[in-house]
């Protein structure tokens, strides 16, 4: 019983109003795995170069994450991304992207990774996502991320793989772009017609929304006094969300609305730790004991009583 | 026992991707009053010109709203605003602003308006807000709106009037601009140091947040399949929010966190009706019976159970 993630392992150079890092561990699969490993045994599938440090592989292996399928490409260099955030962290500018070993990445899954019950396809070329999804035929719950680039240049492949998964996790504006719908409610309904039974819209600092055939659910981002670096927040959220689902399915639970809402809360809590420091720094030393308090706080700050109000006719 | 609002009565020309109106009833006080009148007797204070139609005065007087202090300026023209919204309604461009009678507006309050228990200072010149606040010495709860323009050109006056009110209702980015804080949590805390005991951050299509000395509360916008025109949504929200507070205070309730959260939900529900059609069209024919269902739905789509999750150490 395990959770497989396929995606990028990277080094990031990041500048925010609160500091900078020239080279820090990053990548979607990294952030996802660090969060998901609180819930299940994670198998990471992704390429790195000769330059990938042993201590970063050790961080990736936190809480027993299996790194056997981290492919070290001889003579290659690890994916590198550099970006700079605006004053209020709402926008970021990409300064440099070096695909390096990612350019020729063809996911090779060990039998253990293929046997996973739950699969997360982080943001990579849609055709590779489809390939991995087919390799993991036994997976009971498959979620995926993507990005506007693939909507622009590989829409057909993207729509095909969306039709092969249970859950699409995407930024709200990308969901609108994907479907051409004028608002998120209409857009999510269109995605539900494409195949997935679960749609999660990430809304950045505003939180996230969940759409199923049954209902909607909206949760704010966890309010923080200190936000230092949003890099990886979406993948950390996905790790908490998919991880919660994985743990519950393996405990024999059904994929209910209640479970999914709980997963949204855990994803939100995990993401809140991620943004408090640069890159993986905070989540890498996070302990399981710290998480439930944030989930409980999230519940407290979103609850209200439906008190009777006498309305004038 | 009554609720006084001081602010603009206007004609708006609005174009959205879903249609346009060349001249429709608008203005902050108008939208506020239509919403607040579900909760309390509203007194509207604001100027109009010779061109203000009797049928629009009749709309304003819905549910017994008192329009004795709507000042008709002989030879004057009503405030006019023209704007166009972007495809996803996230941004709007002001095409024309004609202050007209608003340029020389000096609020004249009848004794009945001055005696109000609750006062809402809609977005007007801060010095006029301060003047009205002083005229309504008996008010037990005073809330105000403002805008980035006054932060830019009348900061001192704005800070002074903020220090004279109980509640500031403002867009999230304006609260950040006002305080210079890098995020909303820090920004709201700074406003609480300026005088108000309640801060409400409007987040547009993402909802709203409430800050007091005790806690935070976050509520999403009510999810809609059809959003036609966001004009007046913020003032309609304020009308529902302040109206709920007014009704409760007059019922002998204290200004508790629970009451304020309930007010946030009613404000959100009212605003959702406003955006479904142009201008005041939907709220003008809204009935009291339609409102509680949206409040109940809002509660349903934000609730989650804190189910125990077994976390790996």
User: B210 contacts in A (CB within 8 Å)?
Assistant: none
**In chain B, where do the E strands start and end?**
3-6, 10-16, 19-26, 42-48, 70-72, 79-85, 92-98, 118-121, 141-144, 167-171, 198-202, 208-212, 216-219
The answer to whether B111 and B133 have CB atoms below 8 angstroms apart is no
- Closest-CA distance, B224 to chain A, in angstroms, reads 6
To the nearest whole Å, the CA of B62 is away from the closest chain A CA by 10
Which 3 state secondary structure label does DSSP give A249? helix
Cβ-proximal residues to A155 (8 Å cutoff; 6+ apart), any chain? none
Q: What is the pLDDT of residues A279-293, one digit of tens each?
A: 999 999 999 999 999
Quick one: pLDDT at residue B111?
97
Residue B90 has pLDDT above 90, yes or no: no
Nearest-CB residue to A262 (from B38, B224, B307): B307
Task: Judge whether A227 is closer than 8 Å to chain B, CB to CB.
Answer: yes
H helix or E strand, kind and range, residue A218: strand A216-219
**Residue A25 pLDDT:** 98
- Give chain B positions within 8 Å (CB) of A217: 301-302, 304
**B176 interface with A at CB cutoff 8 Å:** yes
pLDDT tens column, B169-197 = 999 999 999 999 999 999 999 999 999 99
Please tell me if residue A195 touches chain B, with a CB cutoff of 8 Å: no
Cβ–Cβ gap B207/A203 under 8 Å: no
In chain A, which residue's Cα lies nearest the Cα of B181? A88
A19 contact B CB<8A: no
CA distances from B289 to A218, A221, A313, B40, B293 (A): 25, 33, 8, 16, 8
Task: Provide, as residue numbers in chain A, all residues whose Cβ is less than 8 Å from the Cβ of B306.
Answer: 262, 265, 295-296, 299
Closest CA to B29 of B112, B129, B96, B148: B129
Q: Is the ipTM of this structure higher than 0.85?
A: yes
Average pLDDT over all residues of chain B:
97
Q: What is the mean pLDDT of residues A244-261?
A: 96
Contacting A residues, span 118-137, partner chain B, CB-CB under 8 Å:
none
Q: A-chain residues within 8 Å CB-CB of B215? A: 300-301
Please list every residue in chain A whose beta carbon sits closer than 8 Å to the beta carbon of residue B300. 215
- Is B218's Cβ below 8 Å from some Cβ in A? yes
Interface of B with A in 34-73 (CB under 8 A): 37-40, 63-64
Looking at residue A120, what is its pLDDT?
Answer: 98
State the pLDDT at residue A177. Answer: 97
Within 8 A of A184 by CB-CB distance, chain B residues are 223
Instruction: For A168-224, write each residue's pLDDT tens digit.
Output: 999 999 999 999 999 999 999 999 999 999 999 999 999 999 999 999 999 999 999
Identify the band that residue B70 occupies on the pLDDT scale cut at 50, 70 and 90: very high
The answer to whether B34 and B240 are in contact (CB under 8 A) is no
Nearest chain B residue to A214 by CA distance is B301
Of the candidates B38, B87, B185, the beta carbon closest to that of A223 is on B185
Residue A284: the pLDDT is 97
Dihedral angle, C-alpha A84, A86, A92, A95, nearest 10 °: -30
As a whole number of angstroms, the distance between CA B120 and CA B167 comes to 9
Q: Has residue B1 got a pLDDT over 80?
A: no
pLDDT of residue A178: 98
Predicted confidence band of residue B87 (pLDDT cuts 50, 70, 90): confident
What pTM does this model have? 0.97
What residue of B is the nearest CA neighbor of A202? Answer: B206
Chain B residues whose CB is inside 8 A of the A182 CB are 17-18, 87-89, 227
By the CB < 8 Å criterion, does B179 face chain A?
no
How confident is the model at residue A75, as a pLDDT? 96
Residues A66-109 have pLDDT tens digits of 999 999 999 999 999 999 999 888 889 999 999 999 999 999 99
Residue-wise pLDDT tens digits, B187-243 = 999 999 999 999 999 999 999 999 999 999 999 999 999 999 999 999 999 999 999
Mean pLDDT of B261-287: 98
Q: Each residue of B115-146: pLDDT tens digit?
A: 999 999 999 999 999 999 999 999 999 999 99
Q: Is the pLDDT reported for residue B308 higher than 90?
A: no
A with B: how many residue pairs have Cβ under 8 Å apart?
Answer: 168
Token pair of A159, please?
A: 């729509």
Q: What band does B88 get if pLDDT is binned at 50, 70 and 90?
A: confident
Asked whether the beta carbons of residue A184 and residue B223 sit closer than 8 angstroms, the reply is yes
Q: Which residues of B touch A206 (CB under 8 A)?
A: 203, 206-207
Instruction: Please state the rounded mean pLDDT for residues A26-45.
Output: 98
Spatial contact of B212 and B7, defined as CB atoms under 8 Å apart: no
For position A122, what pLDDT does the model report?
98
Using CB atoms, pick whichever of B223, B295, B309 lies closest to residue A247.
B309
Q: Which residues does chain A have within 8 Å of residue B295's beta carbon, measured at their own beta carbons?
A: 306
Contact B220 A215 (CB under 8 A): no
What is the pLDDT, as a whole number, of residue B178?
A: 98
User: Which of A307, A308, A310, A313 to probe by mutation at the B interface, max B CB count within 10 Å?
Assistant: A307
Q: Which of A218, A253, A257 to mutate to test the interface with B (most CBs of B within 10 A)?
A: A218
| B261: contact with A, CB 8 A cutoff | yes
> Which has the closest alpha carbon to B265: A41, A222, A308?
A308
Using CB atoms, which residue from A38, A184, A301 is nearest to B215? A301
- Give the per-residue pLDDT at A308: 85
- If we measure between CA atoms, which residue out of B143, B291, B279 comes closest to residue A312? B291
pLDDT band at A237 (very low <50, low <70, confident <90, very high): very high
Question: Residue A300's pLDDT is what?
Answer: 98
Using a CB-CB distance cutoff of 8 angstroms, which residues of chain A are in contact with residue B257?
none
Q: What per-residue confidence (pLDDT) applies to A193?
A: 98
- pLDDT band, residue B49 (cuts 50/70/90): very high
């Amino acid at each position: 019983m395990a959770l497989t993630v396929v995606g990028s392992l990277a080094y990031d150079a990041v500048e925010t109003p609160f500091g900078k890092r020239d080279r820090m561990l990053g990548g979607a699969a990294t952030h996802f795995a660090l969060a998901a490993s609180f819930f299940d045994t994670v198998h990471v599938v992704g390429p790195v170069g000769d330059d990938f440090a042993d201590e970063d592989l050790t961080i990736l292996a936190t809480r027993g994450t299996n790194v056997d399928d981290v492919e070290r490409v001889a003579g290659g260099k690890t994916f590198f991304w550099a970006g700079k955030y605006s004053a209020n962290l709402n926008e970021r500018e990409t300064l440099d992207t070096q695909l390096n070993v990612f350019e020729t990445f063809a996911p090779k899954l060990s039998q253990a990774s293929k046997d996973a019950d739950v699969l997360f396809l982080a943001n990579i070329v849609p055709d590779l996502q489809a390939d991995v999804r087919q390799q993991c035929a036994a997976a009971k719950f498959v979620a995926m991320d993507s990005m506007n680039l693939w909507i622009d240049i590989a829409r057909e492949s993207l729509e095909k793989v969306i039709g092969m998964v249970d859950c699409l996790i995407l930024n709200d504006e990308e969901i609108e772009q994907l479907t051409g719908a004028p608002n998120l409610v209409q857009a999510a309904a269109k995605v539900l017609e494409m195949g997935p039974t679960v749609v999660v819209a990430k809304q950045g600092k505003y939180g996230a929304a969940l759409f199923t055939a049954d209902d909607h659910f909206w949760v704010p981002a966890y309010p923080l006094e200190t936000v230092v670096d949003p890099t990886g927040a979406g993948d950390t959220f996905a790790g908490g969300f998919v991880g919660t689902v994985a743990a519950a399915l393996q405990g024999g639970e059904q994929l209910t609305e209640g479970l999914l809402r709980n997963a949204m809360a855990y994803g939100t809590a995990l993401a809140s730790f991620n943004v408090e420091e640069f890159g993986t720094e905070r989540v890498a030393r996070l302990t399981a004991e710290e998480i439930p308090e944030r989930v409980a706080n999230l519940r407290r700050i979103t609850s209200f009583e439906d008190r009777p109000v006498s309305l004038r006719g």
